Structure 1
């Protein structure tokens, strides 16, 4: 399951007692760095985090911004989550991983059941218990067809039939699906749960059965209660109001000063603190969190040097190298470069009249010297890619060659596609739908990132050599995402896709059913052949057969060139030495609630 983040601004993954009475400190609080003579400006147990863009919302079912995640994941917890060290699922709100069984008879024969048991001590931050009804309610939200924003969330749950409560054990429930799915367990493990009593206080969805919403969602969507709930759920309070954002996480939302900061305070009544014997996986050490919204890279570097932030990720490569060589920064910060589970690209609107021809799109790919970009602009912190699959995956298509930087080949492909400078003005032109059209393109960038703008300038200069006039258009992230990209009015923009360390499900990014204003197939790729292949991959459990289909899909994608695939990046993270903390592969590159304040001399 992939989520989008915007390049290069958003890019845009021991027990405790009640903190008011006693705290069992983790065993590794001793200094491991030589901090002799180092004085820190801040000594409180507050972590100051740099966000490179304003979050859109703090509701995980509605947010499409990767910069919202570090905030909302302190409020809302999933049933299970991926351990950053082992990359295995570990239980949060449930006792263990689900019991999985194949359905061998009845209307859902060939499907799978997943049986979970909730922890009896899990509580919402208002003290109410987490119940199976809350699990069912969360899926009712997803399948309320009036909520367009949750349409991408439905993709992993296409096979869901119902969720059944165990009549003999009130904390046990079974997820029933009608077919196998390669990410079935991962999809249900990872769902963030919402409290029905907070998000539906009037019971607007109470009388609707989940199975009916799944089977007849479009018909039921016409009914007033479902419409009223949808209007309420997408309203600002349920994404911004501290009184509404009630979750199972260890922090509560404080203030959100748009353009400046978001504050969070530790919930001293957090259920996991009081868990008998201590929760084996859930901990939260900082007393408070402050997320400083700093889009501009130069301002962010100044904030690091002035200790206004304790952690910053996706630092521009050249600035990161300079920071590691700066004496003050070296004394006060540790630096990490874990791999990012994802890839960067330049998105191409394949339905734009200038860009419908795959030969034209391949010509554009020949205009980017990816290795030079990596070495000279990105500081060497990346590996070039021919497509969206990580080279670490066993089904990575090793036979696909990288697209070489080749101006002459680009000129040839453009000429073969009918583009020529008929009027001698230095710009290619062509008759499209009876009108002579100059080959001009708009390339959208977020203004805060040096790398994004440098990449755009390089592309513009190379495009000029073949007769394409590129205009670089600065666009604030939320505007670009909510207008240009959602409405499919863009031509080019720089972006990336991040992922969990799981099998690839191509449906969300590449299936034509995801080509909607709220969907993630933003380049408008696909046809009946690619859709059928994606659908088959999703239900094929035989590894050899599935891997062969993965490679076939990568070849089709490579041939169509809906994006200029750039590279798999490494993150560039700075974390203050006043905390014991590490960078990690999982997005966003750190888990702030695990930061441990050092006992400084």
Structure 2
């Protein structure tokens, strides 16, 4: 039955492709794993929507995927920072060339409008609202409507990124009745109940939350180089390049809109997506499973038309040990468990060696902050046994025992992970076999996603496998490791932390001295490795294929791992 279903699905895909408009020469076809829920630049909720929105709208700052550096997009330069008493001001100036789809200039008033939308009650802005909470006001230059400063409470280094990392909205298009115009950004800090009863806010929210701002191509027009041309549910959506786009006048290679047409094909099934790639129906495919990627590397015919890329990602896999449990309270016990994690084998089995071991949550590619003076735990069963003895465990014929709170307790471990994740499942199986060699029984527990998260937050676990995504700009690990986040509901699931690590975490987010930050982060990695509650295993490498029809390929560890707007058609 499975083969029949696959055949039917593949046939449906073939018919779907045949029903699309004839492919243009300068068209890039990209796979989406699912249809975006919305293209609203404020209320989007998935990576697929964000990938498309990035081509329609722009933020003040942008990441250049050629170098993974933060650079100015809608603005002339990175912000000038002023610190006055307890406030920090970020000074920006919008590029003179920047225009909206109707040709009108982007101004500071559009930035102010955007902040109002992000802060206003009743608006579907729950995801982005926390990101701009620290921005208390905007001050527009009276002599230049492109200059402004953002007034912020306190200071943290990541504020520079956050003040420039939200899509700027066209006030002329999104608020045609000028409902929010008389409302100030500062006033949105007032009593929520009062604001919710404001008739202007209520009217705007009702309009903005409507389906019109989810997929209406007449409204979803930003300052980016593309406009939404068509969207056929369940099949594809297509963007076309703006004529005479302002970004092409800036002489900056990271602001680009080169392909005339970008077509996103909605293909949920990996097997079907790979079939479409092999049939030359796709130009770009990312997140290729490791085993299939290896097969593509051996396919000489395929390699004549496609190039394969493996940029190092900012997503890492780690093990969490619940140090609150009496049997895991001694760090020597946790270190013993660390020596039973055969990381090299896990990488080989689940990643086909497309991963890099790490000593901590800082990516090895960030050489300035990565601690090269320490090494990850080696797989060593004998050393694990010695550490268990040091922790007070007695090795008997049927396992390890220790007297805890007056009771003899046998060392067993329940390892949990999200059901359906083969990477975690394989890692857990490998650990189970290694632990058995050391005489530790391990029970594997695959859990549905929401249950897994709930149990992690409530500290109802012994050991788990998880993954986390980061970026090369922000190293605020306080929510993960500070003891103030270790209570139920906090993100410090493992209970890690002491006075020294808390002080380091507090200082990392306030210091502006890069050398000092590097020293602090290296010391944090040492403490994490020694305490062995949060065991970082490896950083993954992305796997993608891109048609050789195109040049100017920029790949990155930052999603979506390539800049499709930069592609140029080869002669």
2:225 corresponds to: 250
Residue 498 (str. 1) matches residue 470 (str. 2): yes
Measure how far apart 1:578 and its partner are: 1.7
Match of 1:551 among 522, 527, 539: 522
Q: 1:130 to 1:50 in 2, by over 3 A?
A: same
Match of 1:539 among 486, 494, 510: 510
Output one character per residue of 1:113-151: Cα deviation in whole Å (capped at 9) or x when no partner.
Answer: 332221344233455542212212333444457754235
Q: Would the aligned equivalents of 2:241 and 2:261 in 1 still touch at CA under 8 Å?
A: no
Match of residue 359 from structure 2: 386
Determine if the alignment matches structure 1 residue 124 to structure 2 residue 97: no
Structure number with larger C-alpha Rg: 2
Partner of 2:127: 149
Aligned to 2:161: 186
How many angstroms does 1:287 deviate by? 2.9
TM-score, normalization by structure 2: 0.76
Q: Give the C-alpha shift of residue 364 in structure 1.
A: 4.9
Cα pair distance change 1:524/1:73, threshold 3 Å: farther
| Equivalent in the alignment of 1:83 | 64
- 3-state DSSP of counterpart to 1:96: coil
Report the more deviating stretch, 57-66 or 541-550. 57-66
* SS class of match (1:93): coil
| CA displacement 1:455-508 (0-9 Å, x = unmatched) | 344345445662121033475xxx6899888898887353231313x3523346
Change (3 A) 1:188 1:277: closer
What CA distance in whole angstroms lies between the structure 1 residues aligned with 2:40 and 2:327?
35
Report what 2:142 is aligned to. 167
Q: CA deviation at 1:252?
A: 3.1
Q: Distance in 2 between matches of 1:89 and 1:80?
A: 7
Deviation at 1:594, TM superposition (A): 1.4
CA shift for structure 1 position 388: 0.9
Alpha carbons of structure 1 residues 361 and 242: separation in structure 2 relative to 1, 3 Å: farther
Compute the displacement of 1:167 (Å). 0.5
CA 276–373 in structure 1, closer or farther in 2 if over 3 Å, else same: closer
Q: CA 1:145–1:349 in 2, change beyond 3 Å: closer, same or farther?
A: farther
Asked if the contact 1:313–1:571 (Cα under 8 Å) also holds between the matched residues in 2, the reply is yes
Give yes or no for contact 2:324–2:494 (8 Å, CA) kept in 1. no
Q: Which residue in 2 is equivalent to 1:45? A: 26
Q: Does the Cα contact within 8 Å between 1:95 and 1:119 map onto a contact in 2?
A: yes
- Specify whether residues 276 and 394 from structure 1 end up closer, same or farther in structure 2 by C-alpha distance, changes over 3 A only: closer
CA contact 2:39–2:215 (8 Å) conserved in 1: yes
1:237-386 correspondence runs (5 A): 238-242=213-217, 244-253=219-228, 260-269=234-243, 271-272=245-246, 281-340=254-313, 342-346=314-318, 348=320, 350=322, 357=329, 359=331, 362=335, 364-386=337-359
2:430 corresponds to which of 452, 455, 458: 458
Give yes or no for contact 1:152–1:514 (8 Å, CA) kept in 2.
no
Question: Could you tell me how far apart the structure 2 residues matched to 1:204 and 1:363 are?
Answer: 63
Tell me by how many angstroms 1:49 deviates: 1.6
Q: Does the Cα contact within 8 Å between 1:336 and 1:583 map onto a contact in 2?
A: no
User: Is this contact kept in 2: 1:573–1:583, CA < 8 A?
Assistant: no
Structure (1 or 2) with the greater helix fraction: 2
8 Å CA contact 1:363–1:410 kept in 2: the answer is: yes
Aligned to 1:94: 75
Q: Which runs of 5 or more residues in structure 1 are unaligned?
A: 1-40
Native 8 Å contact 2:323 2:329 kept in 1: no
Q: How many residues get paired?
A: 538
Show the counterpart of 2:16. Answer: none
Deviations 1:135-176 (Å, cap 9, x if unpaired)? 12333444457754235524xx74x44321001111111223
For the 8 Å contact 1:91–1:97, the answer to whether it is kept is yes
Residues 522, 234 of structure 1: CA spacing in aligned structure 2 closer, same or farther, 3 A cutoff? farther
Q: Which residue of 2 aligns with 1:596?
A: 568
Q: Is the 8 A contact 1:347 1:523 kept in 2?
A: no
Taking the aligned partners of 1:186 and 1:308, their CA distance within structure 2 comes to: 37
Once the two structures are overlaid, the 10-residue window that deviates more, 140-149 or 520-529, is 520-529
Aligned counterparts, 1:385-534, within 5 A: 385-391=358-364, 392-407=366-381, 439-447=413-421, 451=423, 453-462=425-434, 466-473=440-447, 492-500=464-472, 502=473, 504-507=475-478, 509-510=480-481, 530=501, 532-534=503-505
Contact 1:61 1:153 in 2 (8 A): no
Measure the CA separation in 1 of the matches of 2:178 and 2:326.
Answer: 50
How many Å separate the matches in 2 of 1:139 and 1:517?
A: 32
In structure 2, relative to structure 1, the CA distance for the partners of 1:243 and 1:586 (3 Å cut) is farther
Quote how far apart the aligned CAs of 1:533 are: 3.2
- After superposition, the Cα gap between the structure-2 partners of 1:493 and 1:86, relative to the gap in structure 1 and judged at 3 Å, is closer
- Determine helix, strand or coil for the equivalent of 2:470: strand
Superimposed CA distance per residue, residues 393-413 of structure 1 (whole angstroms, 9 cap, x where no aligned partner)? 323223333122244665777
Residue aligned with 1:73, SS: helix
Question: Which of residues 172, 176, 194 is equivalent to 2:151?
Answer: 176
C-alpha spacing 1:149/1:579, structure 2 compared with 1 (3 Å): same
Question: How many Å separate the matches in 2 of 1:300 and 1:428?
Answer: 51
